Every structure is written in C-alpha cells, then in structure tokens.
Amino acid sequence: MSNKDKINKKRRLVTEDLLKCSWTYYKFIYKMSNILIIGANRGLGLEFVKQYSNTNHNIIATTRNKNNSTELNEINNIDIAELDLTSDASVNNFVTSIESQKIDILIHNAGIFSDEQLKEDLDIDVWMNEMRINAVIPIILARKLKNNLKMGSDKKVVFISSQMGSIDDNYSGRFYFYRSSKSALNSAAKSLSIDWKEDDISVLILHPGWVKTDMGGTSAKLEIPESITRMINVISELNLDNSGSFLNYEGKKLEW
Ligand SMILES: NC(=O)c1ccc[n+]([C@@H]2O[C@H](COP(=O)([O-])OP(=O)(O)OC[C@H]3O[C@@H](n4cnc5c(N)ncnc54)[C@H](OP(=O)(O)O)[C@@H]3O)[C@@H](O)[C@H]2O)c1
C-alpha cells in the first residue's frame, strides 16, 4: 500500500470513529429524561434517585439540607437542590432556580406522618402542617412547574400518596392527619389530571406499598428497592389514557 493509500485509510477510519461517537452521543442525549425527585435524601426518594441514575437519566434531587444528605451527595452525576416545603420562600426560590429547564418526569415523594395524631387531643397546627406538606404544596409546586413539564417529552407527574388516603379502604380508623391529607392529595391530583389533559401532561397517584423506611417502620412488608423498581415500572406505563389513576406499586387500581 502506498503512503497516500495509508493516509486515506487512516482518514476513513478516523471519520468512521467520529461518526460512531457522535451517533452514540446523539442517542445518549436524546434518550435521557430529566427527572425531578422531591424529597430525595432518604427512604423512597433516595432509592428513586439511585435506580433512575443507574439508567442514564438526568436527575434533579431535592433535599432540605445538602450538608446533611451524605448518601445523596455520594451519588455521581446528579444535581442536588435545596427545598423545604414548609417555606414559601424556599419553594419560590427553587422554582426560579430551575425556570429554564425541562422536566420530563416530576415525582413528588416528600411526605410526613406526625406521631401527634396518635394522641387523644388533636393539635390543629400539626394537622394543618400535615395537610400543607402532604396535600397542598405538592399540587401548588406541580402547578408552578407546569411550564417546565410542557418543555419535557414524557410530561408525567407522579404523586407518592398512600392507600391510607383511600376512604373506601379505611377499615381501621385513626390516623386522622395522615389519612385526610393523602385523601386531599388524591382528590386534588385527580382534578389536575383532568385539567392538564389538554396540555398532554399525565398525572399518577401512586401508593408505594408498606415499605421499610423511617416512616414505614421495621415491621413493613416491602424492602425499599423492590417498591421502587416496581413503581418505576408503573410510571413507565403512565400515559394520557390512564392519567388520573390511583394505583399501587404493582399497578393495581385502588379504591378511592
Ligand atoms: N414507607 C411507607 O410504608 C409508605 C407507605 C405509603 C406511602 N408512603 C409515602 O411515601 C413517601 C416517602 O415516604 P418514606 O417512607 O420514604 O418517608 P421518610 O423516610 O420519612 O422520608 C420522607 C422524605 O420527605 C422529606 N420531607 C419531609 N418534610 C419535608 C419538607 N418540609 N420539605 C421537604 N422535604 C420534606 C424528608 O426530608 P427530611 O429528611 O429533610 O425530613 C424525606 O426525604 C411519603 O409521601 C409517604 O407518605 C410511604
């Protein structure tokens, strides 16, 4: 082979390599979804981040305090933002900070269960706070992020609710704050699913099962990774036709 042929062959190989690289890069960029997970420093939220980040998605994870989020900080290639749902200023600052970014999937996972509701005297302020964190802010925040969702491709909103918010399924009573806050979330999320259909945004109300987290306790039936793997599966099946459904982690329809 002449020197000229050798140079041409080398050029051809380099060009082919470059084309292969840019195609891989193209597929990588365009297949990735931006997934926002609210309340991601422990429990179910943290595992959502771990499993979604393993499949090459762009993750924005929120925590109340970055410095106290050791496990979250150890996960590579994710964005971490501070957000405290008890503070209007924090909610507004967060929304402004991601104003220009598309969100493909919004998972509102953060929630609370106050032990105060197990006492005989029910405290109004504690009840109101549980309503605020579990029901009111999830809907207000999602609505503030509507433009980001419209910029995305998947256009999915997932509210992590609870079977304990089901009125039909309440056979054991008690837990006034938690049950009523999750019922309110379900009701408002259902409205959102109807209102946003014309914007092609689908909404899912999802029960994770009874899971071994700080909230679920050690007697819970499910391990965290199993609940999350199954919920990710259910989220992948969400579309405009089944938008507004109240499902469990196995994709089973729950009673309202
Ligand atoms: N585990 C179960 O069996 C079960 C069953 C049904 C439904 N759920 C629902 O699943 C979701 C996750 O529960 P989990 O079991 O993972 O609970 P968890 O371990 O107690 O974690 C709750 C998460 O919510 C965040 N959060 C609480 N208050 C917040 C606030 N004011 N601002 C921002 N973030 C706040 C927490 O952040 P901090 O660490 O800063 O507090 C934490 O990241 C909740 O919505 C819960 O109601 C759980």
Segment 118-128, tens digit of pLDDT: 999 999 999 99
Q: What is the pLDDT of residue 25?
A: 55
149 φψ region: left (φ > 0), alpha (ψ -120 to 50), beta (else): alpha
Residue 81 in 3-state DSSP?
A: strand
pLDDT in tens, 144-192: 999 999 999 999 999 999 999 999 999 999 999 999 999 999 999 999 9
Residue 11 predicted with pLDDT over 80: no
- Please give the pLDDT value at position 3: 73
Among 36, 37, 38, 42, residue to substitute to test ligand 1 (most atoms within 8 Å of Cβ): 42
User: Ligand 1 center to residue 14 CA distance, Å?
Assistant: 51
How confident is the model at residue 9, as a pLDDT?
Answer: 72
With 60 as the cut, is the pLDDT of residue 28 above it? no
224/26 Cα distance (integer angstroms): 34
Hey, CA dihedral for 225, 86, 108, 126, is it positive or negative? positive
Q: What is the pLDDT of residue 94?
A: 98
Mean pLDDT of 24-50: 83
The pLDDT score that the predictor gives to residue 16 is 62
Mean residue pLDDT across the chain: 93
State yes or no: pLDDT of 142 exceeds 50.
yes
What is the C-alpha to C-alpha distance for residues 111 and 76, in angstroms, rounded to an integer? 25
pLDDT for residue 30 is more than 70: no
| Amino acid sitting at position 250 | E
Q: If residue 95 lies in a helix (H) or strand (E), which one and from where to where?
A: helix 88-97
- CA dist 198 and 130 (Å) reads 31
Residue 14: its pLDDT value, please? 66
Tell me the pLDDT tens digit for each residue of 151-161. Answer: 999 999 999 99
What is the CA(146)–ligand 1 centre distance, in A? 23
Ligand 1 contacts (CB < 6 A) are 39, 41-45, 64, 83-86, 109-112, 133, 160, 162, 207-208, 210-211, 213-216, 220
With 50 as the cut, is the pLDDT of residue 27 above it? no
